[in-house]
Amino acid sequence: MTTNLNNFVQVRGEDFVVNGEKIFFRGFGLGSWMNLEHFMIGLPGTDTMIKKAFADVYGEERADKFFDRFLLEFVDEKDFEFLKRIGVNHLRIPFNYKYFIDDQNPGEYKKEGFVYLDHIVNLCEKYEIYGILDLHSVPGGQNPDWHCDTNSGLPLFWEYSALRDTVIKLWGHIARYYKDQPWVAAYDIVNEPSQVTNAKVFNEFYEKVIAEIRQYDEHHIIFIEGNKFTTDFTMIDPIDDPQVAYEFHFYPFVDEPAVLTPEMDRARRKEIFAEAFGKLVSIREKYKRPVWCGELGLVFEREQIDFQMTIIEDMLDLCEEHDVSWALWTYKDAATMGIVYPKADTPWRQLTDEIKQVWNQHKEQEKGEALVDYMAATYFKPISAEERYPLQFRMRTIMQAICVEQMLKPYLEKRPWEEMYQLPASFHWENCEHWSELATLIGKYTKV
């Protein structure tokens, strides 16, 4: 059967096109769904730690039932009706490799990965919203932070070829399955690599994974992400594949926290944003390919929401002015970065509000750095900021393990299984509310 490429999003010069017409992506990531993120979902630990805590408290069979329900009920048709209503045309769909690969039997693929992805991809097809598959967690971790499900604080994926080979084969497996699905717009190979030190390893991985995909699928776009949480592309060589494009993420307040304060003049904030954005978008000139801002967003707070909308507007204006497609991070979570979130009286929010009394995710990095400093001052000589930066990630994995034991499990143990099993229903559309201010702002760009 010959595939009709007109139905697929394709790369043409520095643009994305479909049916020969230019398409501009405006949408969301579906964060904390197939890859739990502690601060977004309101539970301490990494994805694997959280799931193990549920299994320890309720047993593996019940834990599996809980997360199966969570995955199939987190987003449904009513969510897609809302996305369509505000003009969204794509979703970045993050997933953890563990839904496909058993670490003890890496050559045998699990079936549930496609069950959950298809739940979303089928809705994408029905509502004509493109899905971009994003491998958010790989064996060993592609960066040192919690959101790649690392338990070491080290990006071991870049140290072991055997780990990379497993992911290369996985992408071939996925490409075989989705090769004829035009509503899957692209494959996002690995989310936010960081602390990659070997350029040869970095480039060979991308070359090999593209070659593996192209054995089965010649027409889907493949997104390449850079180093330093996809903000640094100095290591990445141009790739000779006509359907390769490049992705960066835009969180300018990481380096300039003052931009999040109302005291800063908006004109000055725009200058800071423009300078940071200009460095990132320059990769389009380097590669002569389209670029996509695959993540940008904020932690929203009720008392600051009007001010925070000006920050989002300033970031989205830069994307629009520079002709850069964008995906806000994120669509739905437990009232952190999502436009949609469970109401305060839902069981999920009641649980996470209790946990917040003893666990503050915002302090995690600060405490990690403080513990490294304490260790150095007590037992060693003072260490530099450069040394401290990677070490605090390792310290935080120890803290996360303790937090799960002392600040997650006790709150699970207080709740009987019958009550806990109902918690995923908190994410049903009718049990949620949304930031109407953000929906209105998005409408400015989508012009629905």
In 265-310, DSSP assigns E strands to 291-296
Question: Using omega within 30 degrees of 0 as the cis cutoff, is the peptide bond preceding 231 cis?
Answer: no
Any domain includes 381: yes
- pLDDT given for residue 3 in this prediction: 56
Start-to-end C-alpha separation, the chain: 37
263: pLDDT confidence band, cut at 50, 70 and 90? very high
179 assigned to some structural domain: yes
pLDDT at residue 4 in the model: 66
Tokens 């830069």 belong to residue? 318
432: pLDDT strictly greater than 70: yes
Q: pLDDT-based confidence at 368, cuts 50/70/90?
A: confident
% the chain with pLDDT above 70: 99
Is 14 domain-assigned?
no
Strand runs labelled E in 268-393: 291-296, 325-328, 340-342
Q: Is residue 291 part of a domain?
A: yes
Total structural domains within the chain: 1
Q: Is residue 5 part of a domain?
A: no
Evaluate whether residue 13 is within a structural domain.
no
User: Looking at residue 250, what is its pLDDT?
Assistant: 98
Q: What is the pTM of this model?
A: 0.97
Phi/psi zone of residue 335: left (φ > 0), alpha (ψ -120 to 50 degrees), beta? Answer: left
Closest among 55, 5, 35, 224 to 117, alpha carbons compared: 35
β-strand pairing of 90-96 with 130-137: parallel
Pairing of strands 130-137, 101-102: unpaired
Domain of residue 298, CATH code: 3.20.20.80
Each residue of 72-104: pLDDT tens digit? 999 999 999 999 999 999 999 999 999 999 999
pLDDT attached to residue 369? 86
- The whole-chain average pLDDT of the chain stands at 96
Residue 16 in domain: no
| Alpha carbon distance 405, 170 (integer Å) | 33
For residue 199, is pLDDT > 90?
A: yes
pLDDT at 365: 79
Which range of residues forms the domain containing residue 142? 21-442
pLDDT in tens, 264-323: 999 999 999 999 999 999 999 999 999 999 999 999 999 999 999 999 999 999 999 999
Does the pLDDT of residue 2 top 50, yes or no? no
Q: Tell me how far apart the alpha carbons of residues 350 and 344 are, in angstroms, rounded to a whole number.
A: 7
Q: What is the mean pLDDT of residues 148-172?
A: 97
* pLDDT-based confidence at residue 48 (cuts at 50, 70, 90): very high
